[in-house]
Amino acid sequence: MLELIPFLMERLGIMIILAFILAQWGPTRRLMRQPDRPWQFAALIVFFASYGIISNYTGVKVDLANFLPHTWLEEVDGTSAIANTRTMIVVISGLLAGPVGGTITGLIVGLHRYSLGGFTAFACAFSTVAAGMLSGLARPIWRDRFRSNAFFPIVLTIFLMAFEMSLILLVSTPFDAALELVRFISVPMSIVNALGVWLFLSIIRSAAREEEQVRAREAERSLHIADLTLPFLKSGLSPHSAEAVASILLQETRADAVSLTDRALILAHVGAGSDHHRSGEHWTTRPTEHVLQTGEVRLATEKEDIDCPKANCPLQAGIIAPLMVGGETVGTLKVYYPNNDQLDAVEIELIEGLAKLFSTQLALGQAERQAQLLKDAEIRALEAQIHPHFLFNAINTIYALCRTDVEAARQLLLELSTFFRSNLQGARHPEIALSKELEHVEAYISLESARFPNRAFIDIDLAEGTEQMLVPPFVLQPLVENAFIHAFPKNESGYVGITSFIDGDQLVLEVVDNGRGIESERLKLLGREVVTSSGNGNALFNTSERIRTLYGNNGSFEIKSGEGTTVTIRLPLEPGKDVAYARHTH
């Protein structure tokens, strides 16, 4: 029976080579990931069903203990059977597409096997359907516990092969012929199918790791570019900053030219076409106008798509991405390439990501400029505290995560965007809803927890009805930051709680930690004057002064410390505001 193995290995080699070729193709890689749309799910089933049918056609024809390899099997006579790798295909389908996908694939491949005939046709068809369903049911176990381990799929395949051999013995007649066949094919088919499952899944995992590494490198490159451009974009979108950013992008990417515009003019154009795409001129292309109006990325895959009025313009293809601040499109980032072959998915994703990072940097710059213009000097001081030190810490954290956890890095970028959007909103308004202030706090917590995962446990408990009450911006975030940085010794964890409730005609906010507390002499000064420190004395004084300035004697700021620290802020309710169910009941 072992002489059958080389012939089955030959068939397996054909299937594995095909799998390797397909795994290098971008659409197939995306298909192998968990399908999230009906057409992707259907395409995955068609993919594996086709694979299984090919396996049926290319199997080895076995007549009892004799076999005759064929290039292409179209029919099997009544005394013969097929030794092939269809079980491998169906098992992989179930593990990747789940019970529904595995069952449908098994049904299609099984019916095709039945149509080829042979005295084992029914047993083989039924076992193929069962293999698809059982491997699909086993998918959660494999995904959650054994994804990186080859042991589980190999054992599963051997079990399903044993099930198929048992079924052949039970339902195929004559029994003597079935027994002789099982003796001859069971071991070779089990070995080859188990090996095939392992090889196929290894190819898929290798392709997925390669794609993740590419994404991680591109994320690292985008953060590096963002780090280089940050000093310029913080000052706003101007000809000087645009020129610097365009030069950096031209050097760090495969681009042939880079251009930045505002809503009216070309601010900078570096590279090919700079003889007629000049700084200070009005942009005249329809694609740019479309991006400014819709806020959507636009691809120019042909020279005509660029819509340059100059006939001999060298620009052939490009990406036009919006630059957004506060939900409004303030300009565009345009990156051009020598030909549309350069517009691969990685490059498109890179430019889209850079446009979003640049938008965040512009929003950051606008927030800082707004803070400088505010009459409230304390808000300006708080803004200066968190920029740029906090930003660079956050970028360094994200930069490090790009090497180990790309999804976590992407989530932290979203939190960073939320953090700076909250800064911008707070700088524009003397009061904001408590829920908005907590969005700012939660974004800060997410970013700091990524740097110090065991530093503090945060608990937020708001009395019902207080979420939409107005509070000064940046009133809670500095207090939480102080607790993170100063309340707990290095490498020690603790608890920070935020509560709100109504007491009489006041909204009460409390930030409590169970840290090491504050010395009594220092406690007397905090909140009453600027205290020389690594940062908390100035932040607490600014917060206290803003409450005093905004509310006079109707508001208060109090710090108590012993075993832990409690900061209590009392703000007057809005006139006529009475939220009975939010009142303190102690």
Q: From 146, 49, 148, 55, select the one nearest 94 (Cα to Cα).
A: 49
Residue 108 reports pLDDT greater than 80 = yes
Structure token digits, residue 132: 């698809």
Q: Mean pLDDT in the chain?
A: 79
Whether 217 is covered by a domain: the verdict is no
Phi-psi region of 491 (alpha: psi -120 to 50; beta: other; left: phi over 0): left
Residue 378, amino acid: E
Assigned domain for 229 exists: no
The pLDDT tens digits of the residues spanning 462-492 come to 888 888 898 888 888 888 888 877 887 777 7
Residue 462, burial from CB neighbour count under 10 angstroms (0-12, 13-18, 19+): middle
Pair (505, 474) in one structural domain: yes
How sure is the predictor about 36, in pLDDT bands with cuts at 50, 70 and 90?
low
pLDDT of residue 70: 53
The predicted structure's pLDDT at residue 498:
92
H or E segment to which residue 46 belongs: helix 38-57
- Give domain status of residue 268, yes or no: yes
Q: Are residues 268 and 406 in the same domain?
A: no
Q: What percent of the chain has pLDDT over 70?
A: 80
pLDDT, position 507: 92
Residue 394 pLDDT greater than 80, yes or no? no
**Same structural domain for residues 407 and 502?**
yes
* Dihedral, CA of residue 520, residue 524, residue 530 and residue 536, to nearest 10: 40
Nearest to 425 by CA among 327, 500, 518, 491: 327
Averaged over 121-132, what is the pLDDT? 92
Please report, for the domain that includes residue 170, its CATH number.
1.10.1760.20
Which among 13, 160, 193, 18 is positioned nearest to 88, based on CA atoms? 193
Tell me the three state secondary structure of residue 275: coil
* CATH number reported for the structural domain that contains residue 426 in this entry: 3.30.565.10
One domain, residues 415 and 528: yes
Enter the tokens of residue 323.
């630059």
Q: 497 and 394 in one domain?
A: yes
For the record, the structure tokens of 272 come out as: 């090919």
| 165-178 residue pLDDT tens | 999 999 988 888 88
Q: Are residues 393 and 525 in the same domain?
A: yes
Please check the confidence at residue 260 and state whether its pLDDT lies above 60: yes
Same-domain check for residues 114 and 201: yes
Query: For residue 380, what are its two tokens?
Result: 């300006």
pTM of the model: 0.44
Contact predicate 73/59, CB 8 Å? yes
Q: What is the DSSP letter of 581?
A: G
DSSP, residue by residue, 377-427? HHHHHHHHHHTTHHHHHHHHHHHHHHHH-HHHHHHHHHHHHHHHHHHHHHH
Sorting pLDDT into bands at 50, 70 and 90, what band is 148? low
Query: Among the three residues 330, 356, 382, which one is the final residue of a domain in this structure?
Result: 356
Domain that includes residue 280, residue range: 236-356
Question: Using one digit for the tens of pLDDT, what is the confidence trace for 275-322?
Answer: 888 887 886 678 888 888 888 888 887 777 777 777 778 888 888 999
Secondary structure of residue 182 in the 3-state scheme = helix
Q: Is the pLDDT of residue 200 over 60?
A: yes
Q: Return the pLDDT at 509.
A: 94
Q: What is the mean pLDDT of residues 81-106?
A: 87
pLDDT at 569 over 90: yes
Q: Which residues lie closer than 8 Å to 580 by C-beta, 6 or more apart?
A: none
With both helix axes pointing from N to C terminus, report the angle between 121-137 and 86-116 in degrees, rounded to the nearest 10: 150
Read off the pLDDT of each residue in 548-562 and give the average, rounded to a whole number: 83
The one-letter code for the residue type at 252 is E
Say yes or no to pLDDT of 585 above 60: no
User: Residue 484, CB half-sphere, CA atoms under 13 Å: how many?
Assistant: 21
- β-bridge pairing 470-471 and 317-325: unpaired
Confidence of residue 586 (pLDDT cuts 50, 70, 90): very low
E-strand ranges in 127-170 read none
Per-residue tokens: 407: 């999804």
Interatomic CA distance for residues 67 and 325, integer angstroms: 72
Residues contacting 9, CB < 8 A, separation 6+: 192
pLDDT at site 104: 94
Q: How far is CA 365 from CA 225, 237, 322, 421, in A?
A: 17, 9, 17, 11
List CB contacts of 258: < 8 A, sequence separation 6 or more.
Answer: 245, 246, 247, 249, 250, 268, 269, 270, 271, 333, 334, 335, 336
Q: Do residue 351 and residue 205 come from a single domain?
A: no
pLDDT digits (tens, 9 = 90+) for 345-368: 777 888 888 888 888 888 887 776
- Six-digit token string for 299: 């691809």
Q: What pLDDT was estimated at residue 83?
A: 77
| Non-local CB neighbours of 232 within 8 Å, separated by 6+ positions | 240, 241, 244, 245
Task: Over range 57-68, report the average pLDDT.
Answer: 71
Pairwise CA distance, residues 551 & 583, whole Å: 21
pLDDT higher than 60, residue 534: no
Q: How many domains does the chain have?
A: 3
Task: Identify which of 152, 182, 38, 165 has the alpha carbon closest to the alpha carbon of residue 92.
Answer: 152
Residue pLDDT, tens place only, 436-452: 888 878 877 877 777 77
The pLDDT of residue 530 is: 58
Residue 225 counted as domain residue? no
On the question of pLDDT at 109 being above 90, the answer is yes
CA–CA gap between residue 44 and residue 29 (Å, rounded): 11
Mean pLDDT of all residues in 199-218: 76
Q: What is the mean pLDDT of residues 396-407?
A: 76
- 536: in domain: yes
Task: Give the Cα separation of 320 and 143 in Å (integer).
Answer: 39
Residues 6 or more apart in contact with residue 367 via CB below 8 angstroms: 383, 387, 420, 423, 424, 427
Q: What is the mean pLDDT of residues 61-79?
A: 63
pLDDT: which is higher, 383 or 157 = 157
Whether 507 is covered by a domain: the verdict is yes
- State which of 159-163, 255-259, 459-463, 488-492 shows the largest mean pLDDT: 159-163
Task: Measure CA 38 to chain center.
Answer: 21
Contact 215, 353 (CB under 8 A): no
On whether both 509 and 449 belong to a single domain, the answer is yes
Q: What CATH number is attached to the domain comprising 266?
A: 3.30.450.40
Bridge pairing between strands 456-462 and 494-503: parallel
Distance, in Å, from the CA atom of 239 to the CA atom of 237, rounded to the nearest integer, reads 7
Does the pLDDT value for residue 580 go beyond 60? no
d(CA 4, CA 68) in angstroms, rounded, equals 10
Is residue 186 domain-resident? yes
Strands 298-300 and 257-262: unpaired
Separation CA 369–CA 234 (nearest Å) = 9
Task: Give pLDDT, residue 40.
Answer: 73
DSSP state of 552: G
Residue 310 lies in a domain: yes
Kindly state whether residues 306 and 422 are assigned to the same domain.
no
- How much of the chain, in percent, has pLDDT values that exceed 90? 11
261 plus 315 within the same structural domain: yes
| Token reading at 86 | 């269809």
Mean pLDDT of 68-79: 60
Neighbours of 206 (CB within 10 A): 12
Q: In what order do the strands lie in the sheet with 257-262?
A: 266-271, 257-262, 328-337, 317-325, 298-300
Helices (H), 75-120: 86-116
106-110, 205-209, 238-242 — most confident range: 106-110
Say if residue 53 is in the same domain as residue 197. Answer: yes
